[in-house]
Structure 1
């Protein structure tokens, strides 16, 4: 349950204070963490006999051994070099320290397991509240779910990096869904603003970019005030991540509440989308429009259908822009200088993006 790196860090810290050589040994006798270079990976046969004996500690060939329990069953053995009284005291302290780590990590594991099942809707309503009470997790507080997607090497513990961003927030939960997806269930103050929610996402992004030198995507759901609704916020964050990849390709942080019309289009069935495209474009597809035309249209939309500003930003004459818009009108029957036609073509572009994305996902 506790990683070997944590065990190694613990005994390294104890050695720096006590100047005693220590090792952590599995109950089968293999050394998994040590301050003695020649001990790592060694098999200590005497440990198995010690584990099966009723003794709490034992002196064997110049080393003192102490048991560490998990639910009353020996899980590890601490080995301390030396036969003196100080070695005995240090061994007891080391055993107590790792025993405490076991309890803390087990509690966190139980909470992580609960949160995972909660997010995936694997719990009955009555189980949610009863288990939350046992784990000392409050029900009626404001929470929001952040979904973090990375392509970071699995050897790097991204979960621990995210946890380190909120070290004092013991009521926040960070757990891994798979190799590339991490979930943060963040507790919020009652008056937390939308700007603060975006700031938290930005903090996560900047920290992970700096620590891992890799790009991450972050999405967030809506704020919920009941534990049973956390799974809804998670589903919203998942949708936000997908919608962002389709319609907000230049953004790495996406908020569910700011998805706009993209959220609506994402939920349309593909046959309906194909019918819409066929009716609007009269048999044409987006491949029939050259890159220059599409770039002009997008810039025209960015400038709220302002011909003068669009031509200025594209470094073209106003008449050139009008010519391109007229050309598009001849192809589609839509005059983008007309607000209603502009809306129809904007939706057409978004629906086409959605269809292309879904076709790629199908393969």
Structure 2
């Protein structure tokens, strides 16, 4: 069936080549797309006859008075898989427009084929996404699950590593283009690549124990190529190598690593996380309450808050902190003492010092978000 949105696209494309009025008519003889909007929805008897006879028809001036809804020109059947699915009509002097008939008919049929195969690929992609979604969520595999894997040519005996890539763009066509580029550029036999929402893509990589450095380099090259091509930053989270049945664990690790990676648009392997591994498990409400109980008194003292942040950035070095802030070291001592008084936390005690560090870190991460 020839749908109106595709018919409208065809008319738009064909009009670029020919400065004549064009119509697309369905098999019932109803005009579903036209350069003359007043003809939309009208019955076209000439096109209806073309569908019945499956051959082109020249519409003459005389036909205008005896056939309903027609204008002089030429009507040609549109074939798809051997069947007539509609008619394309060109309005004008038949002697003038007939020379374009076969060319425009062929162009129309090619556009329909392209649209059909694009839709088929989209359906296949969605089916694969649904399969992968089940894979990363499900722990028990059914007979149907094995059959679906076989249908997609996926080997469920190979160990896997989950890689999640992320970017930010609200442009729908750009999102699809990025996914297609990743799919083409990655080019690793046996790997499964799917879109994962609008601004993510997921790679189920067939992994080997001693190839971390190679994969890290490959991801880095992909990240660089994507950033160069699209002018936006990309982040990657990489899970550990697991058996195919434990892909859900690698997926969870990749998501955790990605959360850290997005803060600096980096490539993070979950196995390299240490403190971050624990911090990622702390909920946002808990973080906010922690900040409130520790450094909230500094919120109206921006100078002190900046001093504390710089102190941690320079690994507790008084000399380098003072230099970075362009202040005398005695001034720094005064500010640190003031921080201790306001927060009631002693920087000479390990637990209080760590508490202040975590509070500043949570604050900065929340601010970035």
From 285, 296, 299, give the equivalent of 1:287.
296
CA deviation after TM superposition for structure 1 residue 293, in Å: 2.2
TM-score, normalised via structure 1 length = 0.65
SS in 2 for 1:150: coil
The CA deviation at 1:68 is 2.9
Q: How does 1:86-235 map to 2 (within 5 A)?
A: 87-88=101-102, 91-92=105-106, 94-96=108-110, 98-119=112-133, 125-126=141-142, 127-136=144-153, 140=158, 144-148=162-166, 150=168, 152=170, 156-163=172-179, 165-166=181-182, 168-169=184-185, 173=193, 175=195, 177=197, 181-186=198-203, 191=211, 192-209=214-231, 218-222=235-239, 235=252
Q: Secondary structure at the match of 1:125?
A: coil
Match of 2:41 among 35, 40, 43: 43
Which whole-Å CA distance do the structure 1 matches of 2:330 and 2:321 have between them? 12
Partner of residue 70, structure 2 = none
- CA separation in 2, counterparts of 1:259 and 1:351? 17
Q: Describe the shift of the 1:39–1:11 C-alpha distance in structure 2 as closer, same or farther (beyond 3 A).
A: same
Q: Distance in 2 between matches of 1:109 and 1:163?
A: 15
Hey, what's the Cα distance between the residues in 2 that align with 1:14 and 1:187?
44
- SS of alignment partner, residue 99 of structure 1: helix
Aligned with residue 262 of structure 1, among 268, 276, 290: 276
1:101 CA drift (Å): 4.0
CA-based RMSD of the aligned residues comes to 5.1
Deviations 1:22-55 (A, max 9, x none): 76656674545x7xx4479833634998599676
For 1:60 and 1:237, locate their aligned partners in 2 and report how far apart those are by CA, in whole Å: 64
Corresponding pairs, count: 330
The equivalent residue for 2:66 is: none
The TM-score, its normalising length taken from structure 2, stands at 0.64
Shift of 1:239: 4.1
Q: 2:164 is paired with a residue of what secondary structure? A: strand
Which 5+ residue runs of structure 1 have no aligned equivalent? 210-214
In structure 2, runs of 5+ residues without a counterpart are 60-73
